[in-house]
Structure 1
Amino acid sequence: MPASERVPEVGLSATAAPELTLLTEGELTVRGQVRDASNAVLYCEVAHEGRTAACVYKPVAGERPLWDFPDGNLARREVAAYLVSEATGWGLVPPTVLRDGPYGEGMVQLWIEAAGAGGADGPDGAGDAGDAGADEAAEAPEAAGPALLALTEDDEPAPGWKAVAEAEVGEGRTALLVHADDDRLRRLAVLDAVINNADRKGGHLLPAPGGRLYGIDHGVTFHTEDKLRTLLWGWAGEPLPPEAVAVLGSLATALAGDLGARLEPLLTAAEIAALRARVARLLETGVHPGPGGDWPSIPWPPV
């Protein structure tokens, strides 16, 4: 993609700028393919002016068409999710750009090694930005991240945990699916409500070394209809924390200005209008949204 056509940056942290330059300008070399992803997800190395990094490349050509997302492509939605995340100041999405690669235009995102992954070994490692390893996590939701998700046989969540839903665990038994009452997860729940994330699975949560938490895989976002589907329903109906209210107010201002303009190459006018409406609704109600309508509220598979 010529430099003049690249998606402009907005509200980006100073620490993200060098990584974005590396991802955008660097030479992209495919090293492998991430297993078990629903679309083409390639594990790559990017190199620029002596710097190298691992990254994920999702070419548009490798996307499977979706019946309910007829406009645009998934790669552009992933970049839009990154821009919105950066505008919140929370930095919940790894640095993400739209660029040309070996298989055409696609999304390129910095590879995040999950805490406790034991080292990043490419697509066979645990710290990827795709769906790899979801099969291993299926029997233990907490494997998606230390102390983030769990199943309990108790009727009520223990202190420090939030109830999501009852889950069938085989042989006619059920267990309570819970997530941590964690400020990092709560911020991610607010972001998901803003971008209308239709696929917040446990495997899309990446706790990084140092205590930071990232969310990944944001291709099915920004729909004009309500499609929020997540494992982070624990705060549904509760008042938004003051921090979130302040962030949403700033986000509304940004969407009326630079951020809204920079989303135009990525989303349709109707999707941007719906995004602004969701932010306004969250500010008006002042509470975390809850499940509703005919759309399934829990992603499948949940991990």
Structure 2
Amino acid sequence: MAGTALVGGCQEAKLAAATTLTVYSMKTAWHPIPDIGDWPLDHVAVTASSGTQWGCFGRTQAEEPANSKAIAQGAGDAMWAAEIAGPDGHSGIEFGVTGICHHCANRITAPANIDARRSPGNEIATPIFGRFGLGRPALVQRIKDAAKRVNAAHPRRISDAAVAAVVKRVSGGLKDEWEIVNEDFEQYLKPALKDEYETFKGDIEHVYLGLYHHREALFAAYSRGTIDKARFVARMNSGFTASLEDLKDVLGPERFGRIVPIPIKVAADYVFYQLPPAYQ
């Protein structure tokens, strides 16, 4: 892009207080597990109308504009977004451990109150890592610290009320996540199950809630140092695998196959793949 330079994981351009932030979804080119085929887990990236681009562990929208679809847009502050993203552009997310590109994008755009929920694959990303990735207390502090750094350079640019509103937004926990998950149920499960959807919905919700509590307990243990990262990721993988097995038992193999058309172990290994890709 003319007039920009790649700095710290994003293309820095002139930053303005009144900026439009946009989340883009693009078909993934990342296939570390060949058996996955064309399972739709899209990569997401973020842009600011001022010119800044965040690749969120992968490609930016500017690198593949023809392959990018805008899925959310809102008013924000590019300088605040850049501070939340940080020098590496990852917004505190550790890929495959506390989140993936979807959660990185959701953190950067949290002040604009938009997210990646309309990206294919978000129906998997949200139940596993939440809306904003694991580690909400650290994210709250990150948002506050980012606002302080912006205001130190530009006094009163970000109000206390704006900070409080974003902190409340990212602290929603299960209530906030449940809204997205229910939207995903309606979009992905209802068409697959058709007239049987209402029959199975309650049990599907129980499976999801079990995964939610499992992941929260494991992350608490990881945060306290009771288990190390390798153990945490392995247990998250096994928990996700068990949830898919439960869902298969609830629905029966034929119905389950309409929703998850690949082997369960392959799906789990893909989500928890440990090496951040150069391109997703």
TM score, norm. by length of structure 2? 0.30
The higher-RCO structure (CA 8 Å, 6+ apart) is 2
Name the structure with the higher strand share: 1
